[in-house]
Structure 1
């Protein structure tokens, strides 16, 4: 009887091991393709996160980031960001890199703060009085990126590429206010600038 129980336990362990291996293979898409850091640009005074390459031609990026604004820079804020950018074309620079001159994109930010909520209090204002969310902001963005082949820059490294980018963005609130107050606001008033670095594994 004890031999039967041992065999049964062994079979169960083997099935669990196979299941774990299959599950791990199915979840490989969760492993990020890189890391990204950024200074400014509406997602925090400083932010960082993970990056995924999208599409078979790797012309898209999805970045999941966390940003922080210290109290000395306008109040303590914690910001979560999901950012998408598409790279429609590139310019190959000899054998050491590529330039992506114009990459349109969009991103969502959510600011965690005790004074900001997803919606304005319904008991205090009518449902259509404020059309925007206090904490959730959709943005449109455009960036330019230069990518360096890591084999040419860092010898014997597991890193595939290092890139640097500059980005401008605006959000729904700024854009609507600009369209309603074009005599008082300029384009410079509604766009924010950020710079960042991406490392591909």
Structure 2
């Protein structure tokens, strides 16, 4: 599995690098600003994606991820996720990097599986018996990221910046269950952790 993930990571970097270098003048808004690789974090055992910077200050991000959970980890599951996050604070680390300590965000993930659907089947449950969707999950998140300026560290690499981040998240189902079972559940049962790398070209 690790070997497969490594090869997939190299492929993603190669493809996004080729696209971005070929549009060096001024790329189309459809061309991503970053390639993303993430481990865990409610969007797959591992996931890959494309990121776009928004707002003039470039502190807002919209990401699109594809995630996979292998059979050995509870799958096979495929998931598509759309994320939004904002970086309200920054701490300059000399000229080689920047730290973004608290980045709030929201995201939607949809999991594809034969046993999951957008709604519970009306033939099995009365209408409105379950309010949530089995496949679609809204999340809230809080992340931090250290962004390395590769032009100062390793210019020959051909990557403008590398962001390494951790992200805590929870969804509507977990939060509701927590407040209904505070004595039985801890915050560790409610929040999930993901770790990722963002390659900016």
Which residue in the other structure is 1:94 paired with? 94
Task: Say if 2:76 is the partner of 1:76.
Answer: yes
Q: Write the distance in 2 (CA, Å) between the matches of 1:29 and 1:75.
A: 34
Correspondence for 2:119: 119
Task: State TM-score, norm by structure 1.
Answer: 0.85
- Which string of whole-angstrom CA distances, capped at 9 and with x for unpartnered residues, describes residues 95-130 of structure 1? 101000000001100000011000001222122101
TM-superposed deviation, 1:33: 0.4
Show structure 1 runs of 5+ residues with no match: 1-26
Q: Secondary structure at the match of 1:110?
A: strand
**Match in the other structure for 1:135:** 135
Which residue matches 2:66? 66
Find the aligned partners of 1:122 and 1:59 in 2 and give their Cα distance.
43
**Post-superposition shift, 1:44?**
0.5
Which aligned pairs between 1:48-63 and structure 2 lie closer than 5 A? Answer: 48-63=48-63
Task: Tell me what 1:196 maps to.
Answer: 196
| Shift >4 Å, 4+ stretches | none
5+ unaligned residues in a row in structure 2: which ranges?
1-26
TM-score using structure 2 length? 0.85
Taking the aligned partners of 1:111 and 1:128, their CA distance within structure 2 comes to: 21
> How many angstroms apart in 2 are the aligned matches of 1:28 and 1:186?
46
- The total of aligned residue pairs comes to 177
Shift of 1:153: 2.0
SS at structure 2 position matched to 1:29: coil
2:47 aligned residue: 47
Alignment deviations for residues 58-82 of structure 1 (CA, whole Å, 9 cap, x no partner): 0111110000000001121001010
How far is the alpha carbon of 1:57 from its aligned partner? 0.3
> Which range is displaced more, 119-128 or 172-181?
119-128
Report the structure number with the largest CA radius of gyration.
Answer: 1
> Which residue of structure 1 lines up, in the alignment, with residue 23 of structure 2?
none
SS in 2 for 1:163: strand
| SS class of match (1:30) | coil
- Counterpart-to-counterpart distance in 2, 1:58 and 1:162: 15
**How far apart are the structure 1 equivalents of 2:186 and 2:78?**
28
| Cα-Cα RMSD | 1.6
1:188: how far off? 1.1
- SS of 1:193 mapped into structure 2: strand
Look up the match of 1:153.
153
How far apart are residue 157 of structure 1 and its match?
4.2
Structure 1 position 179, deviation (Å) = 0.8
Q: Name the stretch that deviates more: 149-158 or 80-89.
A: 149-158
Q: Give 2:108's aligned residue.
A: 108
